[in-house]
Structure 1
Amino acid sequence: MIKLIVKTFINNYEAIQDKKVREAYGVLGGILGVICNLLLFILKLTIGMLSNSIAVISDAFNNLSDLGSSLISIIGAKMSNRPPDPEHPFGHGRFEYISSLVVSFLIFSVGFQLFKSSISKILAPEKVVFNSALIIILAFSILVKLWMFSYNRYIGKTINSSIQNATAFDSLNDVLATSAVLLTTLISHYFNFSIDGIVGLAISVLILYTGLQIAKDTINLLLGSAPDSALVQDIKTRVSSGQYIVGTHDLKVHDYGPGRILASIHAEFPDTISTIEAHSIVDDLEDQISNQLGINMVVHIDPLSTNTEKLSQVNVFVNQEVRKINDQFCVQHIRITEGLHKTNIIFSIVVPSDIKESEYKGISQTISKRLMAAQNHVSIVVDSVVASNT
């Protein structure tokens, strides 16, 4: 159903790299959220007050917070698409992350208020008034929230939106919460045993956890989390496929918000290739990555020395120093890029399979420090640490 809605209301809906199309997806998701959550809030609040159920009323206000989240997602989609200005030269894409953070605070605030109300209900329990309309509305709410989870997940994956993904996760929590309320109502009616306050407390804790989790994930994005490993590999593969390129290193990815990723990488060319030819090759690679991945890419040209005598000398030097650290370490794929003031030595390290991956970064740093201390005017790039197959 969501695909039909997308095709109906979003022009050129397949061009998800287009910032206007991406904005339209976000706004559509927000509008659907406002409509669904407003309907559920009115229905649940009404039936909750009539049945005297704190669990249902808690669930109603959870939907009200979701409505606020949907409004914020609309604002976030609009604001994040604003063009760059002198104060924000990389655009306003991170506004979406800020919107997600605001949503997490709203969710947490609602959860805290419901936590207090549920404690009061446990201390002074009241009988829940059972009626068939209550059961119908709760069942209807579960179906609506399942659909909301489905369409938010679809939009989130389609446009790689943190706020839509957070909303999808929250909708799934709502399914569990409303299911618990439905179960509570049936138990209270058929077994004459009230667990209304306890379930309300459980729902509030679930809401609090959701708010904290969304805040944590969003703060990681704002601080600058590690890029997706699949994206890193995709970029390296695309650049390595360029004519004459024999290797890559120093890939850096900067995330300024969805659709605003900047990246740079060093591409290694034999020093026999002319600068003009190498520049033409990297220009094509930058355009390809920009068009296909939506990434503003800069490929730096690193000329590799083809002086076999010098390569042999460096190979002996590096292997000797590395084996002083651990005689089971093996050096592979040594390359040299020579500059006026320093020489870059690039290589991979093969380590025993019993060494943990968590130790790889420390191994790289130790090797780099030792080699630079042993030889002036060199820069060391350990482009990978891999486990031995033997």
Structure 2
Amino acid sequence: MKEYIIRFCIPNYEHTTDKRVREQYSILGGALGILCNLILFAGKFTAAVMTNSIAIFSDAFNNLTDMGSSFISIISAKLSNRPPDKEHPFGHGRFEYLASLTIGLIILVVGYKLCETSVAKFYTPEPMDLSPVSIVILLASIAIKGWMYMYNTYIGKKIHSGVNEATAADSISDAVATAGVLAATIAQQFTTLPIDAAAGTIIGLMIMYAGYGIAKDTVNTLLGKAPDKKLIQDIVHMALQCKYVSGVHAIRIHDYGPGRMFGSLHAEIPDTANLVDAHAALDVLEDEIWDKFQIEFNIHMDPLCTNRHMIRHTKKVLDSLIQKEYPWYHTDNLRITAGKARLNIICDLHIPPQEYTPYRLRIIRKHMEETLKKYDNRYRIVLARILPEGRREI
């Protein structure tokens, strides 16, 4: 059914890399969310009035906030698709991440309020009256939320949208919560224990946990989390297939929103290679990375020194530094780029595992840089990788 709705509502629905098509997917998902959550709110509110259940009542208002989240997703789709401008040269794609964060915070607040209200019912319990109509409403609500989970997951994967993936996670949490509400409502008919209040509290905690997960993932993305290791390995492998590239380092990837990723790397080229041909090959490599990963890459060319005498001399200098300052470290995979103004020493550094901490790594880089500059002001150290002793891979 979801595929039929998409085909009917979105022209060129297969072109998911097109910004306008992505926007139409997001708007469709938001519109369906508004419609479904409005129906769910009306149904659950009616059931809550009929049964006098605090859990059902809270679940109804949870759907009302979900409807607000759908409005936010539509607005974010329109805003994130705005073209780059003077103040935002990389576009406005991060509006989607801000929308995901907003949804996560809304879920957290709703979960907290549900817990607060449910805990109060431990001290002021009220009688409940279960009816077949309310059971049917809750069962229908579970089915609708299950369908919402499926279509949001489908759209999220189609257009790589964090907003839809966050909404899908919220939908499945709501389905589980409603199932719990239904079970508690039925069980409450056979006991005087505050099952309704307990169920409301548990469901509230589940909702808070889901909101925390969404907010945490989005904040990590906004702060600039490390790119996926598999993606880095694939890019390195692709770069090494280039005729002139003998190695790569300093890979950086910046995420400015779905479909708006930018990256850079240093490609190591023998200094005997033809400059024009090598540059053209790197242009082709940039295009290939875009075609496969939709990441706009800038590749910096590092001309590797092929003078054996200079390489041996530089290795001797580096080994002397390591033996004097860090006798428990060792380096390998040495290569250099040599010019009149600067000589870069590129290598991997292996250190004891207990020293592999962010603070210690900053100290090591700074101290090695200062020591080499004292030897020769042209020298700079480029630690392509710092690895715990015994590890050889990225």
In the superposition, the TM-score normalised over structure 2's length comes to 0.91
Higher mean C-alpha deviation, range 239-248 or range 134-143: 134-143
Query: Which deviations, in whole Å up to 9, do the C-alpha atoms of 1:154-173 show, x marking residues without a partner?
Result: 22223222211211211121
Alignment of structure 1 residues 305-384 onto 2, 5 Å: 305-327=305-327, 329-351=329-351, 355=353, 358-359=356-357, 362-363=360-361, 365-366=363-364, 369-370=367-368, 372-374=370-372, 375=375, 376-384=377-385
Q: CA deviation at 1:210?
A: 2.9
Query: Which deviations, in whole Å up to 9, do the C-alpha atoms of 1:125-145 show, x marking residues without a partner?
Result: 111111112222222222222
Q: Who is 2:209 aligned against?
A: 209
Decide whether aligned partners of structure 1 residues 283 and 14 sit closer, same or farther in structure 2, where only a CA change above 3 A counts. Answer: same
Alignment of structure 1 residues 1-390 onto 2, 5 Å: 1-327=1-327, 329-351=329-351, 355=353, 358-359=356-357, 362-363=360-361, 365-366=363-364, 369-370=367-368, 372-374=370-372, 375=375, 376-386=377-387, 387-388=389-390
Aligned partner of 1:378: which letter?
A: Y
CA contact 2:48–2:54 (8 Å) conserved in 1: yes
CA contact 2:50–2:131 (8 Å) conserved in 1: no
Q: CA deviation at 1:17?
A: 2.1
Q: CA deviation at 1:356?
A: 5.6
CA contact 2:41–2:61 (8 Å) conserved in 1: yes
SS of equivalent residue, structure 2 residue 298: strand
Aligned partner of 2:341: which letter?
A: H
Query: Which deviations, in whole Å up to 9, do the C-alpha atoms of 1:270-311 show, x marking residues without a partner?
Result: 111122112101111111222222111101111111101111
Query: Which deviations, in whole Å up to 9, do the C-alpha atoms of 1:241-278 show, x marking residues without a partner?
Result: 21110111111111111111111111111111122112
**Matches of 1:280 and 1:85 in 2, distance apart?**
30
SS of equivalent residue, structure 2 residue 259: coil
**Matches of 1:272 and 1:15 in 2, distance apart?**
44
Higher mean C-alpha deviation, range 302-311 or range 109-118: 109-118
**Matches of 1:82 and 1:148 in 2, distance apart?**
27
Aligned partner of 2:371: which letter?
A: A
Decide whether aligned partners of structure 1 residues 71 and 284 sit closer, same or farther in structure 2, where only a CA change above 3 A counts. Answer: same
Q: CA deviation at 1:92?
A: 0.7
Query: Which deviations, in whole Å up to 9, do the C-alpha atoms of 1:44-64 show, x marking residues without a partner?
Result: 111111110110011111111
Q: CA deviation at 1:361?
A: 7.6
Query: Which deviations, in whole Å up to 9, do the C-alpha atoms of 1:180-201 show, x marking residues without a partner?
Result: 1011011112335442122222
SS of equivalent residue, structure 1 residue 100: helix
CA contact 1:128–1:194 (8 Å) conserved in 2: no
Q: CA deviation at 1:330?
A: 3.5
Query: Which deviations, in whole Å up to 9, do the C-alpha atoms of 1:183-233 show, x marking residues without a partner?
Result: 101111233544212222222233333333322322222222222222222
**Matches of 1:163 and 1:318 in 2, distance apart?**
49
In the superposition, the TM-score normalised over structure 1's length comes to 0.91
SS of equivalent residue, structure 2 residue 386: strand
Unaligned stretches of 5+ in structure 2?
A: none
Q: CA deviation at 1:377?
A: 1.9
Coordinate RMSD, CA, aligned: 2.3
SS of equivalent residue, structure 1 residue 336: strand
Q: CA deviation at 1:95?
A: 0.9
**Matches of 2:266 and 2:108 in 1, distance apart?**
44
Aligned partner of 2:310: which letter?
A: K
SS of equivalent residue, structure 1 residue 219: helix
CA contact 2:45–2:56 (8 Å) conserved in 1: yes
SS of equivalent residue, structure 1 residue 91: coil
**Matches of 2:362 and 2:116 in 1, distance apart?**
52
Decide whether aligned partners of structure 1 residues 7 and 100 sit closer, same or farther in structure 2, where only a CA change above 3 A counts. Answer: same
**Matches of 1:371 and 1:252 in 2, distance apart?**
21
SS of equivalent residue, structure 1 residue 253: strand
CA contact 2:50–2:130 (8 Å) conserved in 1: no
**Matches of 1:307 and 1:135 in 2, distance apart?**
81
CA contact 1:322–1:367 (8 Å) conserved in 2: no
Q: CA deviation at 1:350?
A: 4.1
Decide whether aligned partners of structure 1 residues 363 and 113 sit closer, same or farther in structure 2, where only a CA change above 3 A counts. Answer: closer
Q: CA deviation at 1:365?
A: 4.9
